[in-house]
Structure formats: C-alpha cells, structure tokens
C-alpha cells in the first residue's frame, strides 16, 4: 500500500510473484490492492522458493521480468532468499522500512506513514502522492488495545499529506500530532457551581465539564531516536499529568474516581518505565526462552506490552480473577461506580482474553494460587510481580529455585528513547481512555466519561463522542 501511495499506482500495475508457501499471503495482498485501489490485479504467478538453487530462482525472475514487462521489484523484509534473487534479476528495487517493536503484527494504514519509508533504487517518484489510508485495510495486530491504536493511527494517516520516500530524490516530512486525554463530567442538577481546573463545554447536544489530564505533542518522523528536547517534553507532560490527577482527585472527590490509583495508567500504557530486581540485584530482562508469569500488579504496570515485543507471556487465571474482582467490587457499590482503577482492571482482563494469554491456576488470589502452581508450569519461567508480600514469601519457598522472581519497582522516567515506541505508548494511552469510556457509557444514570482527542498539524481529526 505504501508503494501504491508514493508511486501513485493502480492494482493492475502490480505483478504478484509468490513462492509455494506464500500463496495465501499473495491472495490476501491481491484482495487488499483491489479493494483499496478499485481495479484488478491482472497477473499472479507462482515462482520457485526454498530449497531451489538461488541461480534457478534468479533465472525465473528474469523470465518473469521479460514476459510481463516489469522492471521493478518490491522486496519484502520477510523473505531474505527471495529478496536476494529479486535483487539480482530486476533493474529497480523498492524496500519499505518498518519500526517493529510495539508495532509488530501491524501493517499500513495502522502504522504511521513516516515509519514505513519507501526506499527505492533507480526509481523516480511522481510529484503527487495517492493517499489510500481512508480505504486501505491491513493487519491490525492482536488485542483490543492494538486494534484501537490502529484505528486512531489510520485517522492520522488519512489526514496527512506529508510523504516519506527516498530514491531519485528524498522527501520525508515529519508530522506533528497532539494527543490529549482527560475526563468529562456531564452537567446535571447535582452540580451547582463550576468545577475548578475544568472548562465548560457544549457539544453533541450536551453540556459538560472537560478536565484535561495530559496533552502530548509528537513529531512523527523516520528518525527513530527522539531528540533530548522531544523526550524532555514528553517526560514533563507525564510529570505534569500526575500532578493534575492529584488535584482532580480532590476536585472530583464526590465522584470517587480514584485518580490517585489510576496514575498506574501511565505504566500500563508503557510510557513510564520500571526497575527490575532479582534476588536483591538489578536485573535486565532479555528475550529468551523463559516465560513471564504475571500477576495482576505486573499487568497494571504494563507487562502485557512484552507480549507484543516477542516475549512468552503467561497470565495465570488467578491474575484474571483479581482483575475482574477489582472491577466487580468497584461497580457493585453505587458510590464507587466511576472508580477508574476498576474500569482499567476490566479493560486489562478483556485484553488478556483477546490475546489468549490465560493459563490454568487454582481459583484463588495469586498470593495463594502461586504457591499451588505445578512445578511443570513454573519450569523455565520467571514470576513477575510488584507485590512485596509475594516477593518475600516466594524467596522462602523451594519454588523460587524453579522459577526465579522478578520484582518490579516503578520508575518515573520514560521507558524508552525509541521514537516509534513512544508514539505507540501515547496512542495506547488514548486507546485505554477510549476503552474505559465504552464501559462508563453503560453506567445507568452515569455522568462521568473519559475521552481522547487527536489533532494533526493543529486540525482536530478525532474526539471521543460524548453519548449516553
């Protein structure tokens, strides 16, 4: 899709050559091209794949080049041997960059255009780009939050004219995006005066107070290392947001939002980092064959993000039970029905289910259930928790020799300097606020909502609709 955009192509301009193992993927690409671009892919052909000799594959590509009158190959980052053969057979080559990290499993238009630069050899780019983001579909990735992030990014791409390519000439303009999150309080007869720190709004036939928690200014570009200035701006906005939440917790105390506890959302989203400790020493987690067994505290602090980075993540049923219990305890008491920590707990329990990470465990709270886990479940795993009680108990049991415990301590520094991951975490924060809003709409007679707003180059392109 990115190549179709930058080169202003139609579906009929593509010749799809696929190896025997790639037929299903080629059919999917054909369907996407035709659905998005409106015409038909006229040529599809199976070519040799592994383990055929590279020389034979080069010759077959050369025959395809001459027979179909094509001279440009789009090289996938996935098929290295096929890419090597194509690079020897075709005169012009195109490659598309990809940020991986938290964006793994997603494709355009659900990934920012600036992170998918079209890099070409001996290719001239037309003056105008064909923006296909509005009609395009792709892989959204696994999980409800990832789907929501993709939906928001698609809106950004659809409203951006800035291009990102290099070849005969180079052009990759950064895009300035503002992401705002906050709380809305519907006006009703119980509100007699202004709510401090919040502004009065009237929209969608409703009158309400809008309480901004944070507004992040992102400069999305192809440079994946954030400048100290931009990192400092994001960090200061998080620090400011934590103070705003403390103030709002007092101002909105009648609604029992539990904003002090809800500060954990900045770790859940991945924006704020963690310090890890094992047996009293600092520990650096590296991807290997060991599984991460999470309790609910680890889930609140963003350890589900490790799944998207390729780690083997397991969530015992006891952790899901704890999340659901936190939600039900909040909502069954009418005065706590807006408890945002409880709402966040439900969002996370739902996310565990969507990612299919749940594993059997005794039907109890994790501090008891962990001690009853089968040694085969614990083998080749780490236990991950912020719970000091679990930490102290675990180290005194023989199970600690089977599954070492990683203890989490919260850091108030950003979790990464990688620009693409920071962007993802900011949008995931917005996605969480939107998912919580979906739950709050179901509260009978409810007056509290959460929201996310997105602006591109100062233009509003998304605003969570206030509905009842």
| Co-location of 361 and 449 in the same domain | yes
Question: Cis omega before residue 423 (within 30°)?
Answer: no
| Co-location of 188 and 323 in the same domain | yes
| Co-location of 371 and 421 in the same domain | yes
Rounded CA-CA distance 173/323 in Å is: 43
Domain that holds residue 51: 2-173
Rounded CA-CA distance 189/134 in Å is: 42
Instruction: Look at residues 173, 192, 213 and tell me which one is the last residue of a structural domain.
Output: 173
Nearest residue to 58 via CA among 45, 72, 70, 47: 47
Nearest residue to 36 via CA among 153, 137, 152: 137
pTM of the model: 0.94
Q: What tokens appear for 89 in the block? A: 């057979």
Inter-residue contact 185 to 152 (CB < 8 Å): no
* Partner residues linked to 277 by β-bridges: 282, 407
Inter-residue contact 295 to 352 (CB < 8 Å): no
Q: Is residue 339 situated within a structural domain?
A: yes
293: phi then psi, degrees, rounded to nearest 5: -95, 115
Q: What tokens appear for 339 in the block? A: 């408890």
| Co-location of 212 and 152 in the same domain | no
Q: Is residue 468 situated within a structural domain?
A: no
| Co-location of 59 and 137 in the same domain | yes
Rounded CA-CA distance 276/284 in Å is: 7
Inter-residue contact 67 to 47 (CB < 8 Å): no
Number of folded domains in the chain?
Answer: 2
| Co-location of 165 and 185 in the same domain | no
| Co-location of 167 and 194 in the same domain | no
Rounded CA-CA distance 152/462 in Å is: 8
Q: Is residue 331 situated within a structural domain?
A: yes
Rounded CA-CA distance 454/467 in Å is: 18
**Would you give per-residue pLDDT tens digits along the chain (468 residues)?**
899 999 999 999 999 988 888 889 889 889 999 999 989 999 998 888 888 888 998 998 899 888 988 888 887 665 567 778 888 888 889 999 999 999 999 999 999 999 999 999 888 899 889 999 988 888 888 999 999 999 999 999 999 988 999 988 889 999 999 999 999 999 875 654 567 779 999 998 899 999 999 999 999 999 988 999 999 999 999 999 999 999 999 989 888 999 999 999 999 999 999 999 999 999 999 888 799 999 999 999 999 999 999 999 999 999 999 999 999 988 877 667 899 999 999 999 999 999 999 999 988 889 899 999 888 889 999 999 999 999 999 999 999 999 999 999 999 999 999 999 999 999 999 999 999 999 999 888 889 999 999 999 999 999 999 875
Q: Is residue 213 situated within a structural domain?
A: yes
Rounded CA-CA distance 426/336 in Å is: 27
Q: Is residue 231 situated within a structural domain?
A: yes
Q: What is the DSSP string of 377-433?
A: HHTTEEEEE--HHHHHHHTTSTHHHHSPEEEEEEEEEES--BHHHHHHHHHHHHHHH
Q: What is the DSSP string of 328-371?
A: HHHHTSGGGTT-HHHHHHHHHHHHHHHHT-EE---SS-HHHHGG
| Co-location of 71 and 180 in the same domain | no
| Co-location of 203 and 61 in the same domain | no
Instruction: Look at residues 138, 158, 173 and tell me which one is the last residue of a structural domain.
Output: 173
Residue for token pair 């199970």: 399
Q: What tokens appear for 102 in the block? A: 């938290």
Instruction: Look at residues 120, 149, 173 and tell me which one is the last residue of a structural domain.
Output: 173
| Co-location of 143 and 183 in the same domain | no
| Co-location of 94 and 237 in the same domain | no
| Co-location of 257 and 368 in the same domain | yes
Q: Is residue 392 situated within a structural domain?
A: yes
């Amino acid at each position: 899709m990115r190549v179709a955009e930058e080169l202003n192509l139609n579906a009929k301009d593509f010749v799809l050559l696929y190896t025997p193992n790639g037929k299903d993927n080629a059919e999917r690409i054909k369907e996407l091209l035709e659905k998005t671009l409106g015409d038909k892919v006229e040529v599809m052909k199976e070519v040799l794949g592994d383990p055929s000799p590279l020389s034979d594959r080069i010759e077959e590509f050369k025959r395809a080049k001459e027979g179909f009158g094509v001279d440009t190959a789009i090289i996938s980052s996935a098929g290295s041997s096929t890419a090597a053969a194509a690079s020897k057979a075709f005169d012009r080559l195109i490659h598309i960059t990809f940020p991986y990290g938290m964006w793994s499993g997603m494709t355009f238009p659900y990934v920012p255009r600036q992170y998918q630069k079209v890099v070409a050899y001996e290719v001239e780019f037309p003056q105008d780009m064909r923006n296909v983001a509005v009609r395009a579909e792709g892989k959204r990735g696994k999980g409800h939050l990832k789907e929501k992030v993709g939906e928001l990014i698609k809106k950004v791409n659809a409203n951006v004219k800035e291009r990102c390519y290099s070849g005969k000439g180079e052009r990759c303009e950064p895009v300035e995006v503002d992401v705002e999150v906050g709380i809305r309080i519907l006006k009703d007869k119980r509100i007699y005066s202004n709510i401090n720190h919040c502004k009065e709004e009237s929209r969608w036939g409703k009158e309400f107070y809008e309480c901004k928690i944070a507004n992040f200014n992102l400069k999305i570009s192809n440079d994946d290392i954030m400048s100290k200035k931009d990192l400092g701006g994001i960090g200061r906005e998080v620090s400011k947001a934590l103070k705003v939440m403390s103030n709002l917790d007092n101002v909105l105390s009648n609604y029992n939002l539990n904003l002090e506890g809800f500060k954990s959302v900045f770790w859940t989203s991945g924006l704020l980092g963690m310090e890890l400790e094992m047996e009293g020493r600092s520990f650096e987690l590296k991807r290997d064959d060991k599984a991460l067994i999470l309790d609910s505290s680890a889930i609140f602090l963003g350890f589900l993000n490790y799944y998207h980075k390729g780690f083997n993540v397991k969530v015992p049923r006891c952790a899901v039970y704890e999340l659901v219990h936190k939600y039900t305890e909040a909502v069954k008491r009418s005065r706590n029905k807006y408890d945002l920590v409880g709402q966040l707990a439900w969002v996370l329990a739902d996310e565990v289910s969507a990612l299919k990470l749940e594993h059997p465990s005794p039907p109890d709270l994790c501090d008891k259930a962990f001690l009853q886990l089968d040694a085969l479940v614990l083998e080749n795993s780490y236990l991950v928790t912020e719970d000091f009680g679990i930490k102290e108990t675990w180290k005194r049991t023989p199970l600690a020799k089977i599954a070492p415990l990683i203890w989490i301590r919260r850091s108030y520094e950003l979790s990464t300097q990688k620009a693409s991951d920071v962007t993802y975490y900011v949008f995931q924060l917005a996605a969480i606020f939107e998912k919580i809003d979906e739950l709050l709409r179901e509260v009978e007679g409810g007056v509290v909502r959460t929201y996310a707003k997105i602006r591109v180059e100062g233009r509003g392109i998304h605003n969570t609709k206030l509905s009842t």
